């Protein structure tokens, strides 16, 4: 849910952010909004969400006669004002809106997500997010809910990156190494990786001589469901008792720079965002489905290895086998100790 990120560096990481409290509902323009429609025209307001030009825009501009272009005054093109990393405006308005009833914080928080140049992606200030929502036409957005929305937005981004880090720790060295780590289930994999205490750690990276992964760019595709989401919706229709679930309210593609001893390459991840039933206290609940996009045999193998090994480990009683082995090893040590005591006696 990085729709409002700007491309500036920050001094020190502040995220991850705590889960927002209270029952404030997200304003409809936030990425958590369930129904997102494509822009009606190519005139996108400054500070809006990532913009993807209409398919016919480039063709139409190419068909303009050269004489008309010569007579028309020079104008700054839309694409020249967009950040190529996320298709959004490089500068976001951070000034108070005319009809704003109360002040909003102007400060921005740094994420824990590195960019390709080593700096950190930075989150928008509440004022920037509010201005962006107003310019998209959501004038009924409550000002007092914006700070909670920024907190939710940042929290979900941190969660998505933590999931991606989990994949990268397992498979950055290859599918074979990933299988070795994953073959005894998720719990034991986290133990092997040193993240058992915090599986969602975004900082730990202990591969010597290899830089950690970084987020190169991202794009929002809320109107294009992933194949998995589409299949789940079909299953939900066919068997609502077993698979019934609402469709994801957003989808993002994140392009991650993966490095190993052989060099670096770009890996695409897909993220489906789901909303769950709120807590009894009114706190919102969200679920993220993060996985490598199936752009080739290797990414497909990574998904099969991680999910397949955990399912097989659980279904075949892997935990029970581990406990039995530990008990047998303990009993053997006790017998050996008793045998030594008898020899001394």
The mean-pLDDT minimum among 42-56, 150-164, 298-312 falls in 42-56
Its pTM stands at: 0.70
Please, which residues have CB within 8 angstroms of residue 288's CB and are 6 or more apart in sequence?
A: 156, 159, 160, 163, 271, 272, 273, 274
Domain, as residue range, for 284 = 81-344
Segment 170-186, tens digit of pLDDT: 999 999 999 999 999 99
Answer yes or no: is 322 within a domain: yes
Is 70 a member of any domain? Answer: no
Domain count, the chain: 1
Q: Is residue 24 part of a domain?
A: no
Task: Give Cα 107 to chain centroid, integer Å.
Answer: 23
Which residues fall within 8 angstroms of residue 76, CB to CB, at 6 or more apart? none
pLDDT beyond 60 at 117: yes
Instruction: For residue 293, give Cα distances in angstroms to 214, 215, 249, 267, 269.
Output: 17, 15, 19, 8, 5
Instruction: Please tell me which residue, 120 or 60, carries the higher pLDDT value.
Output: 120
Whether residue 220 is predicted with pLDDT greater than 80 in this model: the reply is yes
Lowest mean pLDDT among 22-36, 93-107, 151-165, 269-283: 22-36
User: Which of 191, 127, 204 is closest to 161 using CA atoms?
Assistant: 204
Give tens-digit pLDDT for 44-96. Answer: 344 334 434 444 444 433 343 333 344 444 444 433 444 555 555 556 778 88
DSSP character at residue 6: B
How far apart CA 219 and CA 88 sit, in angstroms, is: 10
pLDDT in tens, 221-236: 888 999 998 988 888 8
Burial class (CB in 10 A: 0-12, 13-18, 19+), 332: exposed
**With 60 as the cut, is the pLDDT of residue 31 above it?**
no
What is the rounded distance in angstroms from the CA atom of residue 187 to the CA atom of residue 83? 40
Q: Is residue 63 part of a domain?
A: no
Is 126 exposed, middle or buried (CB count within 10 Å of its CB: 0-12, 13-18, 19+)? buried
Looking at every residue in the chain, the average pLDDT score rounds to 76
For residue 237, is it within any domain? Answer: yes
Residue 53 counted as domain residue: no
pLDDT tens for each residue of 251-303? 999 999 999 888 899 999 999 999 888 888 888 888 999 999 999 999 999 99
Query: pLDDT category, 335, cuts 50, 70, 90?
Result: confident
Q: What is the pLDDT of residue 91?
A: 64
Average pLDDT over residues 135-152: 85
For β-strands 263-276 and 250-260, DSSP reports them as antiparallel
Q: How many CB atoms lie within 10 A of CB 10?
A: 15
| Domain annotation covers residue 51 | no
Quick check: 251 and 34 in contact, CB under 8 A? no
């Amino acid at each position: 849910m990085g729709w409002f990120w700007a491309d500036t560096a920050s001094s020190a990481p502040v995220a991850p952010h705590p889960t927002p409290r209270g029952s404030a509902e997200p304003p409809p323009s936030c990425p958590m909004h369930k129904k997102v429609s494509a822009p009606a025209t190519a005139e996108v307001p400054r500070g809006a969400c990532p913009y993807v030009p209409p398919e016919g825009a480039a063709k139409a501009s190419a068909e303009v006669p050269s004489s008309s272009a010569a007579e028309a005054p020079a104008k700054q093109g839309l694409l020249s004002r967009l950040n190529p990393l996320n298709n959004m405006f490089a500068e976001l308005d951070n000034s108070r809106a005319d009809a704003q009833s109360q002040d909003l914080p102007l400060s921005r928080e740094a994420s824990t997500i590195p960019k390709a140049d080593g700096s950190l992606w930075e989150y928008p200030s509440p004022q920037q997010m509010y201005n962006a929502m107003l310019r998209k036409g959501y004038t009924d957005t409550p000002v007092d809910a914006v700070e909670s929305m920024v907190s939710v937005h940042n929290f979900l981004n941190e969660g998505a990156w933590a999931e991606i880090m989990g994949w990268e720790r397992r498979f950055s060295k290859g599918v074979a190494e990933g299988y070795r780590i994953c073959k005894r289930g998720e719990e034991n994999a986290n133990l092997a990786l040193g993240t058992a205490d915090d599986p969602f750690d975004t900082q730990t990276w202990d591969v010597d001589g290899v830089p950690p992964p970084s987020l190169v760019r991202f794009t929002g595709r809320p109107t294009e469901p992933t194949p998995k989401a589409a299949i789940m919706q079909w299953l939900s229709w066919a068997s609502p008792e077993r698979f019934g679930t609402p469709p994801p309210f957003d989808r993002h593609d994140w392009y991650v720079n993966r490095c190993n001893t052989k060099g670096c390459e770009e890996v695409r991840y897909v993220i489906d965002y789901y909303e769950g039933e709120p807590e009894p206290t009114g706190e919102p609940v969200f679920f993220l489905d993060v996985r490598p996009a199936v752009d080739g045999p290797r990414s497909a193998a990574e998904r099969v290895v991680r999910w397949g090994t955990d399912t097989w480990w659980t279904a075949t009683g892997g935990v029970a086998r581990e406990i039995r082995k530990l008990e047998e090893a303990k009993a053997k040590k006790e017998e050996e100790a008793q045998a030594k005591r008898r020899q001394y006696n």
